[in-house]
Each structure stands twice: as C-alpha cells, then as structure tokens.
Chain A
C-alpha cells in the first residue's frame, strides 16, 4: 500500500536474486526490490531501518571479482547486481556470569580462546556493512585494551557477516558485545548522581510532593505546568534553577 507509487513511475532494471533475474524499479532498496519481485520476508528483514542486522546482503557486480556488502534495507539496487541475503550464520557464543566476571582481556581470552586464531587477514573489516574496524577491535581485545575495543565496535549491529568470512572461525560480534558490557558496567566512570537520586527516592524524599501532584485537579496541574521553570537550551551542566520548588 505505502510502497506503490515509486514502482509505478521508476525505470526498471534487472537484478539477480540468488542468481535469478528479476526486473525491479531502479529507485528501490534491495529489500523493497525483493518484495517487489514477489518474495514475502520471514527472515532477512527486521527493523527496515539499518540497525537490527537482520538483512545483511552480499553481492557481486558483473566483471568484478570483489564481494560487495550492504544492508538490504539501506542499499539501493544496481543494474545487473547478483545478490543473496545471509540472514543467519552459526556462531558460538559463550555464556558467562556477568556479575562476577573480571573486566580484563585475559578473562575474555579464556572465554574465547579462538581470539588468538586471528590471522589479521582483515576479511571481517572488509565485509562489515557498517564500516566497523572489526579486525582492529579484535586486536584491541587481544592487547587487553577493552576501552578501545568498545569504542571501535560501538556501531556493530551483529549481522554476523564478519563471522561468516573469518578464517580463524571467530564469533567477532559476540566477543564485541561481551567487551562493551564489561566496559560499560565495570570500567566506565561511576555515576554518583544516579545513585544519589535512587537513594533519595527510596528514602521517600519526594513522596509527599508526588502525592500532592497525583491528587491535583487538571486546572491546578495546568497552572504548575505552565509556570514551571525551563532550563535554557544553552544552560551549562551545573545550571541552577531559581526556585527550589520540587527539588
């Protein structure tokens, strides 16, 4: 319904879905083109917005030996492209006890000894549709630099294409997920202001104020709402409100 208009007007081009030729409007993404051809997705389609990693696609162009990659939901079709989706690729994931696990490179290595089978061929980085420096974050994990590995792997959407191409048979994206969690919960600076607020609420500091608000008529609430002081857009982090009401 929502997709009809483009296909009525645009020029048709040939693409090869798993080797079979279809004519599709040239403006479509690979995902919409596959649907246009008559497929109904069960696998290979999730968010349709470039973030869930369901739709990893590899393709070749005529006369070009290279492998190209893209997310089907984000990549526009090209004439004569030969494509297939890789909606799933088996990869081992190690379970771990997050609460007790130590945030050091050696602990990651113990869970994933195959880390050291990386031969630095860079196939993972080349195949990543998100331009993540996969090989570099694996190298950072091996060095024990979890902060760097977390930073380098942050845009990973876990489509699994890296694991499908790896000579060392690593599950890179699972390793990266583990490392990001170790960093976020155990190595990133503490956030005392959050803990302080949690405690204040648990101690009932705001309860009376909230109870009052809950009982108020809409008109009373509207008055308070309209009069509430706004933190200006350009205010510094340590901005202080004029009124201490409700704080």
Chain B
C-alpha cells in the first residue's frame, strides 16, 4: 500500500529541508564524521554493547567467551546424531575435497580445488546458490585504480572499520588479492558496471576513503553467484553438487585430521557419510537466529551451522560477540520488513533524516556507527518516525539522488528496489524510504589463518563462517571480496593438501562423544539440538495440533 496520510504529512517535512541539504552536499559541506572518541560514545547505543544480551560459553575451545544467547544456545547443544550408533566402517560417498556450502565462498573453493587436481563434492543445504551471496546488492571492494587508490588505503579503511581489532595477516591477504579477484571474476564473465572508457565504475561505501566499490547494477552478489555457479556446473566431470543435503556433523579420523562429514537429506530424511581427504567449511552466516529478536536480511538457510560443527570438532571462535546490524532495513511496508536497502543509496548521496527532516549523522560512517545513530535517534532522542505497525524508523532520502545525479538515476541504478516499492505504489525517486537497522552479518566465526587452514589438519574455512578479517565490524563490499579471496585460498590449500597425501585412517566421531560429555559435566545443553538447519516459522497453534509430530529442534 502507498504511504498513509500521517506518513505523507511527515514526508512534507523531509521535502521542506531537501533542497537545502542537496545544496550543502553539492558544495561539499558534509555533516562532519565522528572522531574516534565520539564513535566510542556512540557505540554504547549499539546492541553489541549491551551486556544482558550475551553470556559466557560453558564448554568448548572458547569456554568463557561471552556471545549472544541465541548463538550460545546452539553451541551448548547436543548433536543431531548419536555418535555411538553410527557405523563408521562404511561410507556412502567418497571424494578428495568436500566443500560444505554452495554460496560464493564454497563455489570459489570448489573451482580452485578442482584446478588443483582434486575431485570435489559440494554439499549444500538448499539449492546451489540459495545463499547470502545471491542477495548482496551493493558491491565488492578492491583498490583497482592505482592513480588514486591502493591496497595501503584499503588496508587502513578495513582496520578503521573493524576498530583496529582485525587480524593483520588476514587483512593483508584480503586487500592484496582484491584486484586479482576482480580480474578473475571478470574473466569468468561477470558483468560489472563499466563507464564509457571501459574502466569499471566504482562508488564510495561506508568507511571507504576512496571510491572502490565495484558493482553490477544493484544485483552484484547475484551476478557473481550465478557466474560461479555456472562455471561449477561446467566442470561436473570433477565437481559433484549435492543439494538439499546439509552437513550436520564433521567426521575426523583416528589421527585427528578432518575426514569428511555426515550429510542429511532434507527430503528423504536419511543420513549419509561422506569421506573426504580435506573439507572446506563455507556455510555462511546466521541471521536466521534472529539475535535479540531483530529482523534479518539473510537467506532462509543462514543458521550458523558451520560454526557449530567446527566448534564441536575443536576450532575456537572469535569476534562472534559482534553482530552486524545493517543500518537500513525496510521498516515500512510490513511484508517487506527487514529487507535490505543497499548502502549504495547513501554512497550515492541519500541522507538519513529524522522526523523533523534533519540529518543526524553523516551517511558514510561505518555500519555500526550508522546503526547506533539510528537507534539513538529513535530511542533516547525520540526523533524517530512512527510506522503504522507501532514501530519507529528514520527516512532514507532517496529522491536526493536524482537531484544530485540527474533525473532517472534512482530508477537506473537501483532497478530492484525501484520495482519492489513500485509494487507498493511508492516511487522511491520521489518519496523517501522508512528504514530501521536489521540483522545482517556475522562479523566473527571460526578461527582460521591466511592460508584458510585451521588448527585441525585437513579442515579449511572460507567466507562468513570465519572470523577475524573484519574485526569487530565489516565494511560494505568487503564480504563479497572476502568470500572470493578466501574461497579461492581455501580451495587451493585444500587441493594442495590432498596432493600431499595426508594419512588415511579410521573414521571417528569421538569429538562428538567428548563434547557431549563436556555438556553433561557442565550441566547444559543436552536438551537442545544443533545445528538448527532451518529456522522455525511454524505458528505455535499449528504445532499444538500436530499431535503425532516429533520435533528434533526446529525440524520435524
């Protein structure tokens, strides 16, 4: 539905200040960026900094580390399988490299492992490409323009965005591999947006000092994902894809090396053992855990499974206490609630504006600062805009973009969102959008090295499931980059590892038994089951009537 009358009135106020804000922008007079001191103050309004939302882990390699309850609940939970009842002397599938997760990181890893001579099996939860990668809109960072940018500035920006907590070796790899990733993707046939002379178009994003956000209209992630997926399909002689087959446990062998995984066929409800010489974990993020009850931008399968599996096998977690709230999720239209409005709108000049039509933060601050500022505006300062469903939000003033860059820019550069709102009879080239922060990205995850290795031989990590690259806060455009950089790295490392003829040995689920014993000793979690695999959206009244149904966690 279009904006109701009350909101239309409030939009008039925004329109009243727009010309002046556009003039300021044109003159380069921006609302100043916060100093590092001011940032620290502002972040106190960020959900990450509210202690009541988290608790220390009672078991495992990172015991004592405090993370969100929703995540802790899953780490402190038993396996879906009883390790004593599994016959480990035979297996259903065998491969050199098992890649778990068919998003951007997993697909890149599969391609590189294959190029290193390995036979690859890629097991994924939903369809190949049903992944957060598919959903990324805004862009991918890389310092490709040597006349004004370099890995040096990219490095500084990444560190500043992550509040200088990032792991330097990972950041180095990220920024120095970045241009080659763009080259590789283009050579595989990705259509990045180009300007007249053939140079790739680049924009600013929050926290960038140079315009280095490459994009493919407003479906950058989809363009990357579908290109990688198509290439994986071309190599089906060496790469087998198994869909609707999430991994629910890792297999180790008697020498303590990773040796495959237990896969669960969601449709037939049967389990399969897959034996492998190396495993790449690339299961992505965890928005569907709805930390602190927030909405999420993430795909249906983003339930943090890889972190659970890796942690049980003994890999510590880091930076998992920080969660990224994307500052701009749809707050009105209720049926689109939580859906992401790309940061590119702000990169292109749209202000964030409160109920009085006033700008309250520079729109190019890092994401956590933007999110904290919006929450502050809507809570303590009481300058939020009330939505018809009783929530609050602030305006993202998209019509400014046409005034700055010329009529038709919004429609041309943001076709996806333009269509989405057009369905609600709202023209975002003429009317602003109402937004509020939404759960977006898992900043932390399994600990890993710049080679993709973890502390378990034969076990590699790539993508959103890993932690450390982005420190406590990721900048826009660095995740699409990270998944391809480290997907390629992990794939190549796994491929080489296989070639080095690792020691074969009896399969084992000892680590699961040990973990169960630890849970029992700590007196937690044996009544919960993880990984979650799919979120639970079945209404309680329906469940009550499913008299004979048995639920293992969220699955029937």
Contacts and interface: CB of A to CB of B under 8 A. Distances in A.
A85 to B, nearest CB: 13
Interface size on A, as a range, is 35 or more
Given A52-B299, A54-B126, A185-B188, A193 B146 contact: yes
A160 B204 CA distance: 35
Contacts of B179: 194, 197-198, 201
A4 to B, nearest CB: 8
B191 A238 contact: no
B187 interface: yes
Interface string A138-154: 00000000000010001
A38 B539 contact: yes
B189 A98 contact: yes
Interface string B17-33: 00000000110101000
B159 A177 contact: no
A51 interface: yes
Interface of A: 1-7, 27-29, 32, 35-38, 40-43, 45-52, 54, 74, 76, 93, 95-98, 131, 150, 154-155, 157-158, 177-178, 180-186, 188-198, 200-201, 206, 209-210, 213-214, 218, 221-222, 224-226, 228-235, 237-241, 245-247
Nearest to A207: B176
B198 A95 contact: no
Which of A6, A182, A221, A225 has its CB near the most chain B CB atoms (within 10 A)? A225
A226 B534 CA distance: 43
Contact of B152 (A52, A95, A209): A209
B234 A96 contact: yes
Contacts of B135: 47, 49, 51-52
Interface of B: 25-26, 28, 30, 35-36, 126-127, 129-131, 134-135, 143-153, 155-157, 159-160, 164, 168-169, 172, 175-176, 179-180, 182-183, 186-192, 194-195, 197-200, 204, 209-211, 217, 219, 222, 226-227, 230-231, 233-234, 236, 244, 266-267, 290, 293-297, 299-301, 334-336, 338-340, 349, 364, 389, 404, 415-416, 419-420, 423, 534, 536-539, 542, 546, 556
B222 A240 contact: no
Contacts of B546: 38
Contact of A158 (B30, B195, B199, B226): B226
16 contacts: A1-B536, A2-B338, A36-B539, A46-B299, A54-B130, A131-B419, A154-B191, A158-B226, A181-B189, A185-B189, A188-B191, A188-B198, A213-B159, A214-B172, A226-B35, A234-B404
Contacts of B364: 233
A95 B186 contact: no
B160 A225 contact: yes
Contact of A51 (B151, B416, B542): B416
Contacts of A191: 144, 182-183, 186, 194, 198-200
A32 B334 CA distance: 12
Given A98-B189, A193-B145, A224 B156 contact: yes
A201 B236 contact: no
A7 B148 CA distance: 53
A177 B186 contact: no
In order of increasing CB-CB distance, the 8 nearest A-B pairs are A181-B189, A189-B198, A246-B152, A46-B130, A185-B189, A184-B191, A38-B542, A184-B189
A184 B186 contact: yes
Nearest to A185: B189
B548 to A, nearest CB: 14
Contacts of B340: 49
Interface of A is mostly: loop
B160 A51 contact: no
Contacts of A197: 143-146, 179
A36 B543 CA distance: 11
Contacts of B198: 188-192
Contacts of B420: 50, 74
A188 B200 CA distance: 11
A194 B183 contact: yes
Contacts of B293: 1-2
A139 to B, nearest CB: 20
A241 B467 CA distance: 33
Contacts of A45: 126, 300
Contacts of A182: 189
A86 to B, nearest CB: 14
A209 B192 CA distance: 29
A206 B134 contact: no
Nearest to A238: B147
A230 B294 CA distance: 33
Contact of A194 (B168, B200, B415): B200
Contacts of A36: 539
Contacts of A194: 144, 179, 182-183, 186, 200
B327 to A, nearest CB: 17
A206 B389 contact: no
A68 B217 CA distance: 28
Contacts of B151: 201, 206, 210
